[in-house]
Amino acid sequence: MILDTTYLLPLTRIDIDTDLLQAIAKGKTNVKLEEICINLISIFELQAKAAKLGIPAKFMVKAVEAILKAFRVESFYNPEIVEVSYELRKLIPDYIDCVIVATAAVLKEDLVTEDSLILAKKDAITEKYGVKVLSFKDIVK
């Protein structure tokens, strides 16, 4: 399962209503930590968001260490991901989001996101790439 960057925010002490990692830890979903994959670009995006919000660097450093230990991390420069991310520009204007969706498409793994634009395009993504696009409410009991 590919996670969008939003679900990593709590690792930097940014509170969100859709804390998927906490839901997993509490057994409120069938998703297991070892099934999670993120794209390396999400670490960059997480750093940018944390810096913008004034989160201390030490929290970001700890978050990166936790991410690298706990999850599979796929590179954004994987040639297949690059190719698919360029295709996705027709559907999704934000290139970082294209990379994250492309990661799911290339790895043939479901994507979990709260991004309203990606969710609005989920049928087209599923039809073209054969992966489900889900949200927090779709997978948490």
Q: Please report, for residues 38, 75, 122, the alpha-carbon distance to residue 65 in angstroms, rounded to integers and kept in the order given.
A: 14, 16, 31
Strand-pair category, 133-134 with 72-74: unpaired
Bridge partners of 111? 2, 133
pLDDT band per the 50, 70, 90 thresholds, residue 48: very high
- Mean per-residue pLDDT for 94-104? 98
Span 84-100, average pLDDT: 97
Q: With cut-offs at 50, 70 and 90, classify the pLDDT of residue 108.
A: very high
Mean pLDDT of 102-109: 98
Looking at every residue in the chain, the average pLDDT score rounds to: 97
Ramachandran class of 39: left when φ > 0, alpha when ψ lies in -120 to 50, beta otherwise: beta
When divided into structural domains, the chain yields a total of 1
Residue 115 sits in a domain of what CATH number?
Answer: 3.40.50.1010
- Name the helix (H) or strand (E) containing 96: helix 95-107
Q: How far apart are CA 104 and CA 81, in angstroms?
A: 9
Span 28-45, pLDDT tens digits: 999 999 999 999 999 999
Cα 15 from Cα 9, distance rounded (Å): 7
**Token pair listed for 112:** 């979990």
Domain span at 50 = 2-139
Whether 141 shows a pLDDT value over 90: the answer reads no
Is the pLDDT at 85 greater than 90, yes or no?
A: yes
| Residues 42-51, mean pLDDT to the nearest whole number | 97
Q: Is the pLDDT of residue 80 over 90?
A: yes
- Burial (CB < 10 A; 0-12, 13-18, 19+), residue 65, is exposed
> 86: Cβ–Cβ under 8 A, 6 or more apart, which residues?
98
